[in-house]
A and B are shown apart, each in its own frame.
Chain A
Amino acid sequence: MKRVGGAIMAMVVLTAGASLYAGDAKQFQDKHKAAGVQCASCHGNNPKAIIPNQNCLACHDSYQKLGEQTKDMHINPHKSPHFMDLECTSCHASHTAIKNFCQDCHGPIARKR
């Protein structure tokens, strides 16, 4: 089931192109909804529980793969030279805009394309 989700997500990623990242205000939840991802796929049975990385990576594979997808950024947030196993939701809170904390030190980070 999760694999199917992954395939759908991969298609969304391919078709959505640059607008997926770009520090835009687009809510990730919309992408998830459009891809048919159920609330419980991320949240389990409790919306107040924290979402572990494994829930995200079940569809999105690995940090290594995500790093490949964002390698055009001048600072690649998925291939941090500082940190390992960052919590996905520390930037990608699905119900709000992306909040990239790399910017606290590095200043604005955007995609080139």
Chain B
Amino acid sequence: MGTYSKIVQLALIVVTVAVSGSVYAADRTINTDIVVIGGGSTGMAAAVASAQGGAKVVVLEKNPYLGGASNFAEGLFAVESDLQRAKSNGLTKDEAFKHIVEFGHYKIDIPLIRQFVNESAENIHWLQKQGVQMEAIQISPTEPLVWHVIKDNGHIVHGGALITVLQAKAKALGVEFMTRTPAKKLIYTNNKVTGVEAVDHKGNKVTVNAKAVIIGTGGFGNSKELIAKWTKFDPDKFKPSLPINKTGDGIKMAQDVGADIEGLNLMLHQGTEGKGIVPLGALYTMVWQPNTLWVNKYGKRFTDEMVAFSFSQAGNAIAAQRGHFGWTIFDDGMVNYINERGVDNGIGVIVKVTDKLKGLRGEINNAIAAGSDNFKAADSIEELARQIEVPVDTLKKTYTNYNKYAENHYDPEFAKEHRYLLPLNKGKLYAVKVMPYHFTSIGGIRINTDMAVIDKNDKPIAGLYAGGCDVGGLYSDTYTLWASGHAYGFAAYSGRMAALNALKVMKK
């Protein structure tokens, strides 16, 4: 080796040491009172409530934005709120509580649900006090008026309005936000959680020492690996609705320090995708309509299509079919009906009930032109059966019977209400494939009614709290859409309660 190359080598070593050494490291240690993992509605409510209680707060968020799925969800469940009073709504907390625990087959955390239902109105009132504006609405004919839909905050829409109102509030209270800084590990010493280790997007280690940690990372819906490991679902067939990076971080970190876990599952909903099908567009909206005809791969009906009103149950009904899909069938008569009178079922507030789907015709034509895999059109039921590859005779029989039910205003098969039984016998016939997706995972960390994380002996793990969709005990087989906005309501509620309880412990 020549002298020259040795010098170069030496120079390289010097440079490498300088760059990787402490000169350019930007590791940080922060001492604070409360550290919140996840800047969604759980975390934002926790941050504001903590700061209002006089605590120093750091929020760690792994995405480049705050809010997570709470930006896109639209409303919060509550009973006996002032907004419901203003609409002379008579539903009581007791009725709602009983309905929810019945729906959950009592396979849920009943004291936690009772407390949440009882305090749900106060949760809304607190959010209103922070500047979040809402309106109580009834989302469908099969649900009560319990959904407190968030109003826009300037140009910010949907749940983003709640998040940004709380974000501004938290900022004014001195809360420190660190985005693109995923928490990696809870610091656990002497049977106590005393902080969090995180890494920022430059790879610097961020150590946050705190008196309490509040977890709200939104579940594991974006982790194929955890869906396969923790649930009965095939992650390739049950896809998340949005890529929000929810990979079970909070649940795993809590598990690592001894937290008990329960009820891991997915909150399914119906949806579709494919060539020529616009996400959340007109054809997508068709798979949410109760007055269409649904068949499985055998060409048979399998449910009262009114289940479309309750997306979580509709998702389960589709999931139960062999192959986990169905076909939504409608005709030109239905297209005309929707163009003239609008849809019977909306999609949250993105598509509203009675919206006329002006783009439906165009999207149908585009999907046909694109040779769509999951949308088919035909001039007869036989041809449609061949296109969607179901037995011709069976589909023909299903279709003939269905039209007969429509004529008779009675569905002896599944008792669908006559107002949603429209004959499908005008013009062309159409079929859109309907498949299960999920808005969020359900189940997770076991907590007590103080939102304190508990271990396998039901003992709270000191210094650790959790809320929102990271928490177990809220649902059994699925989400009750009857209590519309239950997940969002609980997220904000649990975040704030976790903060209040952490403050109480800190002041002792």
Contacts and interface: CB of A to CB of B under 8 A. Distances in A.
A in complex with B: yes
Interface of A: 46-50, 79-87, 89-90, 101, 104-105
B202 A49 contact: yes
Interface in B145-197: 155-158, 160, 163-164, 167-168, 171, 179-180
B64 A101 contact: yes
Given A49-B202, A79-B155, A90-B180, A84 B64 contact: no
A82 B65 contact: yes
Q: Which of A50, A85, A89 has the most CB of B within 10 A?
A: A50
A113 B156 CA distance: 26
Complex A-B, nearest 10 residue pairs according to Cβ-Cβ distance, in ascending order: A90-B64, A49-B26, A83-B65, A48-B26, A82-B160, A84-B164, A48-B24, A81-B157, A82-B71, A104-B243
Contacts of B242: 105
A82 B157 contact: yes
Contacts of A105: 242-243
Interface string B366-395: 000000000000000000000000000000
B64 A48 contact: no
Given A79-B155, A81-B156, A90-B180, A49 B66 contact: no
A83 B158 CA distance: 11
Given A48-B204, A49-B202, A84 B26 contact: no
A29 B203 CA distance: 21
B72 interface: yes
A82 B26 contact: no
Contacts of A50: 26, 180, 200-202, 204
B24 A87 contact: no
A70 B340 CA distance: 37
B320 interface: no
A84 B168 contact: yes
Contacts of A87: 64, 179-180
Contact of A90 (B71, B158, B179): B179
Nearest to B25: A48
20 contacts: A46-B24, A48-B24, A48-B202, A50-B26, A50-B202, A50-B204, A81-B156, A81-B160, A82-B65, A82-B156, A82-B158, A83-B66, A84-B164, A84-B167, A85-B66, A85-B171, A87-B64, A87-B180, A89-B201, A105-B242
B67 interface: yes
A81 B71 CA distance: 10
A101 B63 CA distance: 10
A49 B204 contact: yes
Contacts of B171: 85
Contacts of A82: 65, 67, 71-72, 156-158, 160
Contacts of B203: 48
Contacts of A83: 65-67, 71, 156, 160, 164
B376 to A, nearest CB: 24
A47 to B, nearest CB: 6
B220 to A, nearest CB: 18
Given A48-B203, A82-B157, A83-B66, 6 more contacts: A46-B26, A49-B26, A84-B168, A87-B64, A89-B201, A90-B179
A4 B75 CA distance: 46
A15 to B, nearest CB: 30
B43 to A, nearest CB: 15
Interface string B256-295: 0000000000000000000000000000000000000000
Given A47-B24, A79-B155, A85 B167 contact: yes
Interface string B191-216: 00000000011111000000000000
Contacts of A84: 66, 156, 163-164, 167-168
A96 B393 CA distance: 59
Contacts of A90: 64-65, 179-180
Nearest to B153: A84
A86 to B, nearest CB: 6
Contacts of A79: 155
B64 A86 contact: yes
Interface in B438-466: none
A39 to B, nearest CB: 12
Contacts of B164: 83-84
Contacts of A47: 24
A106 to B, nearest CB: 9
Contacts of B243: 104-105
Nearest to A106: B279
A82 to B, nearest CB: 4
A105 B180 CA distance: 18
Contacts of B72: 82
Nearest to A89: B201
A104 B171 CA distance: 28
Contacts of B25: 48
Contacts of A46: 24, 26
A81 B202 CA distance: 27
Contacts of B168: 84
A81 B160 CA distance: 8
A88 to B, nearest CB: 10
Contacts of B167: 84-85
A80 B154 CA distance: 11
Nearest to B20: A48
A49 B181 CA distance: 13
Nearest to B157: A81
A77 to B, nearest CB: 12
A69 B306 CA distance: 47
A95 to B, nearest CB: 12
B245 to A, nearest CB: 9
